[in-house]
Structure 1
Amino acid sequence: MTPDEYRKALLGADTAHPDGAPRSHSGVHRVAHVTRERCAGPSSGAEPLTVARARALREALVRALPEDVQAMDLAEIEAWIAQRRDLEERLERTQVDLESTHTALEEHRTVLQQTRTSPSMRVGRRVLAPARLVLRALRLVRSLPRSLRVHGLRGLPGRLGTNGGDGPAYADWARRHATLSASGRSTLERQLQGLPSQPLISVVTPVYNSDPRFLREAVDSLREQVYPHWELLLVDDASDAPGTRQLLADLEGIDVRVRVLYRDENGHISAASNTGLAHARGEWVGFLDHDDRLAPDALFRVAEVIGDDPRAGLIYSDEDKIRENGERYEPHFKPDWNPDLLRSQNYINHFSVYRRDLVDAAGGLREGFEGAQDYDLVLRVTERLEPRAIRHIPRVLYHWRAVTTSTAHAGETKPYAVEAARRALQEHLERSGRPDAVVLPAPGFEGMWWRVRYGLPDPAPRVSVLIPTRNGLHLLMDSVASVLDEADYPDVELIVIDNASDDPATLRYLDFLRQDDRVKVVRDERPFNFSQLNNDAVPFATGSVLVFLNNDVKAQDRDWLRELVSHALRPEVGVVGARLLFPDDTIQHAGCILGVGGVAAHAYLQLPDDSPGYLGRAGLIQNYSAVTAACVAMRRAVFDEVGGFDAEHLKVAFNDIDLCLKVLQSGYWNVWTPYARLYHFESISRGYEDTPEKQERFRGEIAYMRRQWGDLLDADPAYNPNLSLEDAQFRLARAPRIPDKPHSA
């Protein structure tokens, strides 16, 4: 390769710095749209210069060249290259070594996976836990300066991992906002007669050698219910502990609504629960563990939903944990129906109440799934329901007892229960028409939660990737390489939308890209309008799947595109978003939370990449109402159905949020996957909303979003009204945003 070719292909005679390039704004993220495409031309008898090879050379050159390289003449460059003529050979040898290393790592992957889940590793993780805390603290210290600039001091609690409501702060919050007061109880009792429906609710509690103290508390929590129309079925699974047997005998006459059933032999929890179901008389049935408690208003709130929505088939609530001394901690504030999150973890869990006929139709609880019998049941029942029939009560109505022998306390699941959960999920996918889907342990959550990997059809459909750009050559090259060289996907088309680039080096590079049959360069010289640029470029696409990609995004893994497309092809899915990281390996995007800042904000912004987030949600596939268009995939048919981006009202900000909400409104699910991982060099090109003109336009876009989507922005179904809208760190709200619903007597 001659010096001139290096200069043209890598540096450019007039290479400009990466500034002034357009980007997509979701309001929360202001991003550049500089794209980089592949350089496939031959070089003086050498092998074709791929983008990956060119990038490696470029990075090495940038490190080695003097800062005044632009002032060097041709003779000086030739002399420099002559002194370092073995640079390219060494880089190529390094690439071969890396490929060999990659092969070796793949060969050891299975062994490593087995080792991670072995008993010795579980012990090791406990021993090394203090060291991991120290390392996490060091990463937090490194990223605190940026966090302070973004969030100020107010954001430090969430940044330091105190979000989520654990410990004494939650106990105090629960006393003020999640405990039924005497006056509150009187109000609900007055409203009882106004409930439009008052069905009998059967509560089934399997019992086996239970601690008499906690079993009595469980029974008392039923007898303290505001709602009177219930029955409790205590099913003794052949207990032999004298204290348990004596308490059950005492409870037989304590309340006509409490019934004790005795089994002759121990059959475990599924069989015992089915015995209770066989004797239940209620139209609705719920499950209470033998040492847990219900909140006094739990059944009233359930009856309230039943009366308001005759279509309801499954009703579930929020929950927390309770220590042996009665202290409440670790609340689980859940989203509304979230099918992809359910395939990642049993987030529904407690308190769940089912319409009795649905449980009967599903065959009750299946023996052989002990330890995951509740997960198996909720998967089988929800398969039969429309989404609107699955109702969430955003109140803490269940207290999960944490004693030294319980899962709530230990946080670990027995191996047989893990395997039962995996089988339950795999069979659910097969019944749902996805036999190609594979259930894998979720990385970082092995033995707890899951990753579902969906297959691709053969042949895989063509994907059209659209990248708007204005100048920004250095960023563009990385983005293009991520698509054409680094994506493990067989059929890709790249459309670069050139928004009036005027940098000579960028223009030469775009001409160079036109030599690749996979690339189209579309020139658009109108003023920047992200929505219009993409809408008008879509007709040039020949793929059935569209990917909108910023020009300041760089792939971290080779299978990022395959992962996005595997979800986008699911018929129930609309838009699919990726996990985006800042260059310092902190989170830039892990889904969008509606309502924060008036419109939306990125979840877990600035948390370390390895942060689990709220109850694991920063590392699990799930549904969000919206994701950022810095990197999204969707079927072309869905894009056309909703009319694409709004080019009239949302030229720069919130166009992706609006698109996602239109898709959601049309009946599709939007998905975020942490397994499509890319770096996002946010705001390098266009900068922030820091001029009067930009701020005026930004305020107008906020006002439009509030007019168009205000009700949804104030009640994000993928979030929870008990969590704060001051930021998107899943912290406790100062007060819940739950309107009380009056019922006239």
Structure 2
Amino acid sequence: MDSQRLVSVVIAVCRTEFFETALSSVIGQTHDAIEIVICDDATDGLAETVTDLYRASCQWPILYLRNESPLGADACFNRAVAEASGRYIKFMAGDAVLAPDCIQQMVAALEVNPQASLVAAHRQWLNAEGAALQENLATRFRVSEPTVFNGPDIVGLLGEFTCDFIGELSSVLCRRDDLLALGADLFALNGESVGPLGNLALYATLLHDAELIMLPATLTGTRIAPQQLTQQGIEIVGTDSDHLPAFHRLIREAGWASTSLDNGWVGARPLSATQGFTDFNLLAQLSAPLPQRLNPQQVEAWLGHRVPTPEQQTQIDRHLADVGAPSLLVVIKDFGDAPEKVQRSLDSLGSHSALHAAMNVVVLTDATVLPTLALGVRLNTVAIGNLNTAALLNQVIETQRFDWLIVIDAGTQFTPFGLTAGALKLLESPDARAAFADEMHRRPRGGLSSAMRPDFNLDYLLSYPLLTAGHWLFRRETLLELGGFDEGFADAAEFDLILRLYEREGAGQIIHISEPLLVCDLPEAVDNPDEIATLQRHLQVRGYPQATIEHTLPRRYHVQYGHTDQPLVSIIVPTKDQLPFLQRCVETLLHITRYLNYELLIVDNNSETPEALEWLARIDALGSAQVRVLRYPHPFNYSRINNVAAAQAKGEYLVLLNNDTAIVHSRWLDELLNHALRPEVGVVGAKLLFPNGRIQHAGVRLGMDGPAGHQHIGEPGHIQGYMQRVQVDQDLSAVTAACLMVRRSIYEEVGGLDEEAFVVSYNDVDLCMKVGALGYLNVWTPHSVLIHEGSVSQTHVDTATQQAKRKRFVGEQLAMYRKWLPT
């Protein structure tokens, strides 16, 4: 055999029922130089028997290795690669199948492109019978021709979105020398295991300084079985939830993460081309169909219409002249010595003539010449020298007189109506201590994107200060009373000041100007140690001495409050029949949940099927103190069912959980408690995924599709969301009761779920609104992940006619409007 073209097919055998089919597909390859290395991790001896059966007639040498005890697929591959001698390595699971020309096509592609370290092809998922499963978010992507992708771009995308479009290990081929250079454990990142994401860890390590080739042909079949579990959605969706944070962190720590908030574009070229990449929006391909949002050109056009008519402007000018416009100091940071950018910022002030008399500008710069402007003596400079940002700003505060201060970077522009809208809002809010407005961001590839910030949102601020803690307006008295900007956190000066203001006074006098004020470059998510340091300081001040900050995705923070209490949690699961769903919910909860101090209350609402009655009777007969069956022998009333169970619960905290959910994340309950144990929090909701991996719940938005609706519903689970909001903790008006945690005392204080007005729909939204009206926060966290089928109870358990259901639904909608629309 030609040693330069020798391919070692390394087979990890963890299940033996399909091994003979897998081995046969290797033996039938058209490539002319193959060796087969089998590592047997099963215990039944069948793989060895099959190997012996085929060895005599196989034209390729076969090396059989056996583990004394099961070690897992990764350990099998590590051992097999160490024993292999081929120039190329073709990974293969013991239940996969290869197309006859799979290896031949892959080797030919790598031979054409020495810069590539990995070649993959489209793959098909198969069920236990070998039939093709429907394509999904992971398998749907296919190139139209052999294509080369820029490896660092691919790693940057995987480090944030983690959609395994490359495929399982059976889908790839690489060079053995590249693997040997990685050490003994091919599937670790920086020596740390990432569990089921081990294949992505390998791909990232191989591609961070190389290229990826993808072939259009379907060359591998991956068996996803058993079929029943696949259909139920718990075999694949969400099973990596425990390891995603570590994977994201390790990619960032390795310096391979993308710092662009427009991440998702990668360099691509045909394999037939020898050099040069063009931009390719891979994320859009992986996420189709895309949500309906304004494109950059539409956003720019919308902004162009945000200009008062001449008559309106005359009235505004007259009003400002009568009441007196607030005195604004604009500080422009010119740290890059870019006079053209300074000029751009100054020019944008010209459209606010009514405010000019009350406006001053200070440019922080070492430049000796500044552009001319009508501001005249009201344009000043401060030399940067060796001073940091905070010291420079404090110097400005001491020497300048103003009512309000805003700090921008050179090149940032004020929108035509932004400052006027801001001035009017500030005049309406004489007690305001600080304010922030919406923004427009210049996209790296042209056009604008909007950044319409929510009203003050504590958890969003702490999780994502990059987009929430910049370009604030501060009243001069606020700055002086807080002692100015802290030079110890110079690179997070505004964020630190906002936190200190909140620590001192809360958020009552922080206002939101609901109008784009600025047009600036899309921020870069470059690590900022000062940001983390002041966040840690803030948590200490608020009484969380054991709090930690998990920095996973760039500049997105997951705050762990470090609570020591471990209260009893009562998990309430209403059910009627639908035994497969209920079994899946209960069994995954009992087997996977890491937090152990809970009781499970299964509330039976007149089950009728023999299998459900038998199963419930068996659970009841166990006499378990942790798992109890309660009976509700009355017509379906979701609110009443939960209230009855809550009255019998023993826990300090309640979890309302639908029976069509499945637990895939061991820390799901810990993450809910992480917020629920905070005294200012009332309700906590989770991230719920449909079994196909798309989002079922990422928070409830009022006024969407009626009184309220689920935001991002149906979008891929890996997306960022608008302003990265699917990736971080935040406060919302409401969350769904499909999985909702609430302190029992608060639940009782607001009267639980409304049994009269909201029998089926909107009871959870009403609950959250009642809790919010008491001053508590409703928090949604993406760090607690479950599977949720959606509407099973309403579709299958509620026996009312469709006409009656529709009438009731409309009545509950009207009840929501009557109760909450005035507020």
Same fold (TM over 0.5): yes
Report sequence identity in percent. 31
1:379 aligns with 2:487: no
Take 1:559 and 1:472, find their aligned partners in 2: how far apart are those partners? 26
| Partner residue in 2 for 1:245 | 368
The 3 A distance-change label for structure 1 pair 704 and 127 is closer
- The SS at the match of 1:618 is coil
1:502 aligns with 2:608: yes
Superposition TM-score, scaled by structure 1 size: 0.72
Query: After the TM superposition, which residues 493-642 of structure 1 pair with which residues of structure 2 at under 5 Å, given as runs?
Result: 493-514=599-620, 515=622, 516-642=624-750
Moved more, 203-212 or 580-589: 203-212
Contact 1:231 1:259 in 2 (8 A): no
Query: After the TM superposition, which residues 664-743 of structure 1 pair with which residues of structure 2 at under 5 Å, given as runs?
Result: 664-687=772-795, 691-712=802-823
Take 2:377 and 2:307, find their aligned partners in 1: how far apart are those partners? 25
1:174 aligns with 2:285: no
The 3 A distance-change label for structure 1 pair 649 and 209 is closer
| Partner residue in 1 for 2:524 | 412
Aligned residues: 582
Shift of 1:536: 1.3
Shift of 1:204: 2.4
1:362 aligns with 2:482: yes
1:190 aligns with 2:310: no
Shift of 1:360: 2.1
| Partner residue in 1 for 2:338 | 211
The 3 A distance-change label for structure 1 pair 676 and 182 is same
Amino acid aligned to 2:699 = G
Shift of 1:555: 1.0
Shift of 1:336: 0.5
Higher relative contact order (CA 8 A, sep 6+): 1
Shift of 1:183: 4.0
Contact 1:316 1:352 in 2 (8 A): yes
- The SS at the match of 1:318 is strand
- The SS at the match of 2:193 is helix
Q: Once the two structures are superposed, what CA deviation does each residue of 1:590-641 show, in whole Å capped at 9, x if it has no partner?
A: 0011001221110101111111111211111101100000000011011011
Take 2:259 and 2:471, find their aligned partners in 1: how far apart are those partners? 32
Quick one: which of 407, 418, 423 aligns to 1:298? 418
Contact 1:580 1:589 in 2 (8 A): yes
Amino acid aligned to 2:358 = W
- The SS at the match of 2:592 is coil
Contact 2:287 2:716 in 1 (8 A): yes
Take 1:371 and 1:704, find their aligned partners in 2: how far apart are those partners? 49
Quick one: which of 414, 426, 433 aligns to 2:543? 433
| Partner residue in 2 for 1:283 | 403
Q: Which has the higher helix share?
A: 1
| Partner residue in 1 for 2:355 | 227
| Partner residue in 2 for 1:657 | 765
- The SS at the match of 2:359 is strand
Q: Once the two structures are superposed, what CA deviation does each residue of 1:422-466 show, in whole Å capped at 9, x if it has no partner?
A: 112111211222222211124xxx2222111222324x1000000
The 3 A distance-change label for structure 1 pair 663 and 329 is same
Contact 1:319 1:351 in 2 (8 A): no
Take 1:161 and 1:630, find their aligned partners in 2: how far apart are those partners? 24
Take 1:702 and 1:228, find their aligned partners in 2: how far apart are those partners? 49
Take 1:700 and 1:127, find their aligned partners in 2: how far apart are those partners? 47
Q: Which has the higher strand share?
A: 2
Take 1:94 and 1:697, find their aligned partners in 2: how far apart are those partners? 63
The 3 A distance-change label for structure 1 pair 180 and 287 is farther
Q: Once the two structures are superposed, what CA deviation does each residue of 1:26-58 show, in whole Å capped at 9, x if it has no partner?
A: xxxxxxxxxxxxxxxxxxxxxxxxxxxxxxxxx
Query: After the TM superposition, which residues 83-122 of structure 1 pair with which residues of structure 2 at under 5 Å, given as runs?
Result: 107-109=192-194, 113-120=249-256, 122=258
1:334 aligns with 2:453: yes
Shift of 1:192: 1.9
Quick one: which of 409, 426, 438 aligns to 1:318? 438
Amino acid aligned to 2:542 = S
1:268 aligns with 2:388: yes
Contact 2:664 2:787 in 1 (8 A): yes
1:457 aligns with 2:567: no
Contact 1:206 1:290 in 2 (8 A): yes
| Partner residue in 2 for 1:422 | 532
- The SS at the match of 2:391 is helix
Shift of 1:270: 2.2
Amino acid aligned to 1:118 = A
Contact 1:369 1:420 in 2 (8 A): yes
Take 2:792 and 2:267, find their aligned partners in 1: how far apart are those partners? 37
- The SS at the match of 1:687 is helix
Take 1:324 and 1:212, find their aligned partners in 2: how far apart are those partners? 21
| Partner residue in 2 for 1:53 | none
Shift of 1:380: 2.2
**Structure 1 portions without partners, runs of 5+:** 1-59, 61-84, 88-92, 142-158, 403-407, 713-745
Contact 1:235 1:276 in 2 (8 A): no
Amino acid aligned to 1:185 = Q
Q: Once the two structures are superposed, what CA deviation does each residue of 1:531-567 show, in whole Å capped at 9, x if it has no partner?
A: 0111111111111010000000001211001101111
Q: Once the two structures are superposed, what CA deviation does each residue of 1:67-92 show, in whole Å capped at 9, x if it has no partner?
A: xxxxxxxxxxxxxxxxxx989xxxxx
- The SS at the match of 1:227 is helix
Shift of 1:181: 4.5
Take 1:128 and 1:220, find their aligned partners in 2: how far apart are those partners? 35
Shift of 1:227: 2.6
Shift of 1:207: 3.3
Quick one: which of 146, 160, 165 aligns to 2:290? 160
Contact 1:645 1:656 in 2 (8 A): yes
Contact 1:365 1:377 in 2 (8 A): yes
- The SS at the match of 1:525 is coil
- The SS at the match of 1:319 is strand
Contact 2:436 2:471 in 1 (8 A): yes
Moved more, 481-490 or 338-347: 481-490
The 3 A distance-change label for structure 1 pair 194 and 170 is same
Shift of 1:486: 1.4
Shift of 1:588: 0.4
Shift of 1:276: 1.2
Take 1:276 and 1:507, find their aligned partners in 2: how far apart are those partners? 75
The 3 A distance-change label for structure 1 pair 98 and 670 is farther
Contact 1:497 1:533 in 2 (8 A): yes
Take 2:267 and 2:665, find their aligned partners in 1: how far apart are those partners? 28
Shift of 1:133: 6.6
Shift of 1:129: 5.9
Amino acid aligned to 2:640 = Q
The 3 A distance-change label for structure 1 pair 209 and 609 is closer
The 3 A distance-change label for structure 1 pair 100 and 221 is closer
Q: Once the two structures are superposed, what CA deviation does each residue of 1:106-157 show, in whole Å capped at 9, x if it has no partner?
A: 942569844443235559998956599776556545xxxxxxxxxxxxxxxx
The 3 A distance-change label for structure 1 pair 690 and 383 is farther
Contact 2:266 2:282 in 1 (8 A): no
Amino acid aligned to 1:704 = A
Take 2:482 and 2:395, find their aligned partners in 1: how far apart are those partners? 15
Take 1:294 and 1:638, find their aligned partners in 2: how far apart are those partners? 44
Take 2:417 and 2:281, find their aligned partners in 1: how far apart are those partners? 43
Amino acid aligned to 1:549 = L
